[in-house]
Structure formats: C-alpha cells, structure tokens
Structure 1
Amino acid sequence: MSFYDTDAILTDAQKLPCTFNLDVPGLGYLDGNPGEAIAANTKLELPLWLGMMLTVANANNPTKPPLVTLDFPAPLQSRVMNALEADPKSVDLRAQSPHFYSLGARVLELFEDEAVVGVLLKTFAMRAAEIADHANNPSGALGGGEGAEFLRGLDEMERDLFRRAHEGGKGVRGWVVGLKGLG
C-alpha cells in the first residue's frame, strides 16, 4: 500500500465490527461518550486501520488478550459469500463496498479463510471475463442502458480493469487501422 494511494486510504477507512475484550479508559469517544471508558464486550464498528491497531496493541505481551477482536465486515460475511458462490455476476459489488476486492485483501491479511479466498478468486475471474467482453464491445459497454447498469455494479478495481481493457482495445483498433493505411 502506498501512502498516497487514495483507494488504499478509502479501503482502510471502511468499518469493521469489533468487540472490546477489556475495559479501555479514555476511549469512550469512539462510542459517543467522551471522557468515559469503553467497557469489555462493547461492540463497535471501527475503521479497518483503527481496528487493526487496537488488535495488535497488546501483541508484545502474550499474557494479555488483544484490546479488540475483529469480525468479518458485512461485505465478506456468509450472506454475500453464498450469493457470490451461486452467481458471481449477479451481485452488485459496489453496493457491498466500493473497494470490495481491496477490502477482502486487507481483511484476509488478518484472517486465514481459504473458503473466502476461493470465492473471491472465482468471482474476480468470472467477472473479469464479462468486464473484458463489455469493454471490447463498443456498442454495449458505453452506450447506456444495460451497459451503464453493468458499470454501476462494479467495484473500483473492476472499474479500473474495464477502463484499461477499453483503452487497450481502442489502441489495438487504432493500430490496425494505421497498418491498413500503410498498405
């Protein structure tokens, strides 16, 4: 992750469900109670970056539990994973998270879940083929209607893939036209 990567910053700002394992004095402002402590077993949604920091805060002392326990965010929970397993092309990933795949990659740095990795890889592969098809179909992808609806459901990584595939296809077509003009 680059310090200046806007997508990485936005990914790290996404909320993750966390459960505090200990009473933590002075962090009540996270729960809307400035000056108070956060009690053990309090559940909050915190930005990914903060949840990760609080999880490793006691890492150098193995006798103490971590301050918080992280859970999978809603876009990566079983309801969404089951829908992706059933039909990856039908799920509006942008509605789940604008940075769906980046969030998945960051969360999977914390959790080892081979099933989620498999679903994400299968989803990306199947959707990438459709993205390439739309990007190289001059009438379908950018012509509004179904094409616009398709683009609306893509997460940021998929949108970038679409842009690159579309520009690459235009470049190849221009090159071929240039070759024909030489002959």
Structure 2
Amino acid sequence: MTGYYSINAILTDSQKLPCTFDLTVPHLGYLEGNPGAPIKSGTKLELPLWLAEMLAVSNNGSGSTVLTLDMPPALSGRVLNALKADPKTLDLRSLAPHFYGLGSRMLELFEEDEVGEVLGETFKKRAKEIADHAHNPRGALGEGAEFLRGLDEEERQLFRAAHESAKAVRTWMAELKTT
C-alpha cells in the first residue's frame, strides 16, 4: 500500500484525524471556516492525516508542538474491544474505508503495541472468513453478504484475489477432465 503514487496511500492520508492545537496559530482560521483569523490554543479540529502529521511534528522554534494528534475513533478503545471479542461482526468500511492503512499509519505515529496486536489478529481472523466466502459463492450471496459489505479496501482486494484464484482452479480442473 505504500508508495508515492499509490491511490490507497493517498486515500488513507486523506482520512481525517481529531487534533487539538497546542499553540495559537495566526492566519489558519480558514481550517475552521474563519479566513484570516487565528486558530486559538485548545481548538479541536479534524484534519486530514497528511496535514495533521506535518503540524504535529513541526514546532515553533521553542520545542512546543503546533498540535497534538488524537487516536481516530476508528481505533478507539471501544472498537479495539469489539475487535478482540469478534472481529467478524464489525463493519470496518463504515469505521474507515482504508481501516488497516489508517491503523498502519497510526502505528508509525503512536507507540501503541496493543493496536498493532489487535489489528494483526483481526486481519488473520477476517482473512479466513474472506477466503471462505470467496471460495463459496453461495455463502457470499446469502448470510455472508453483510460481512462482505463491511470489508475495508485491503480486504476487498484480498477477496477479489481469492475469488479469481478459486475460479481459475475450477477452470483448470474442468480443462483437465476434458483432456
């Protein structure tokens, strides 16, 4: 997913994160709809990940950061607990269309071992379910349809790859029988 020209990386970096300004910043009021006005210290905004990250790592020369990033709601404690309980029940797409990409980027910015562990286990458990639905089209059309609607973009790519490979194997087996 990484790469300068990766559309998934671009879309991940455009997801909004909650931030709190630590300093008053002149002339950035347009971010909250007040062109020309300053953003006051303590102001909470949601900014695209790429902008929030740049402002979080920049400082005013005195060592103070411009803003503090908060963990996005898609990776809140409540969501992590739900993922630990049963990762197949959550609609990851509604939380963040590029859920795993967002999680990966957050792990670059925050030292959250638990988030990494939960995301890894979630992906493993959901990948099994995705493969099952990809190889069993009847399940994908019936009770599995709701699960499949909630797949994030990486999971959708996994589903397509598993579905195409299963279809290719069936075609190959049919060709073997005819020869």
TM-score, L = length of structure 2:
0.95
1:27-76 residue CA offsets vs partner (Å, 9 max, x unmatched): 011111110111111111100000001012229x5x42111110100000
Shift of 1:3: 2.7
Shift of 1:136: 0.4
Partner of 1:138: 137
Partner of 2:38: 37
Shift of 1:163: 0.5
Distance across 1 between alignment mates of 2:121 and 2:144:
22
Counterpart of 1:72, as a letter, is M
TM-score, L = length of structure 1:
0.93
Structural RMSD (CA): 1.3
Distance across 2 between alignment mates of 1:22 and 1:97:
29
Distance across 2 between alignment mates of 1:146 and 1:154:
15
Structure 2, unaligned runs of 5 or more: none
1:7-38 residue CA offsets vs partner (Å, 9 max, x unmatched): 21111111101111111111011111110111
Partner of 1:4: 5
Match status 1:127 vs 2:143 = no
Shift of 1:151: 1.3
Distance across 2 between alignment mates of 1:57 and 1:77:
25
Partner of 2:147: 150
Instruction: Report how many residues are paired.
Output: 178
Aligned with 1:98: secondary structure? coil
Alignment of 1:52-91 (within 5 A): 52-58=53-59, 61=61, 63-91=62-90
Distance across 2 between alignment mates of 1:130 and 1:147:
9
Distance across 2 between alignment mates of 1:175 and 1:118:
38
Aligned with 1:146: secondary structure? coil
Aligned with 2:169: secondary structure? helix
Distance across 1 between alignment mates of 2:138 and 2:46:
43
Partner of 2:175: 178
Shift of 1:167: 0.2
Distance across 2 between alignment mates of 1:22 and 1:64:
12
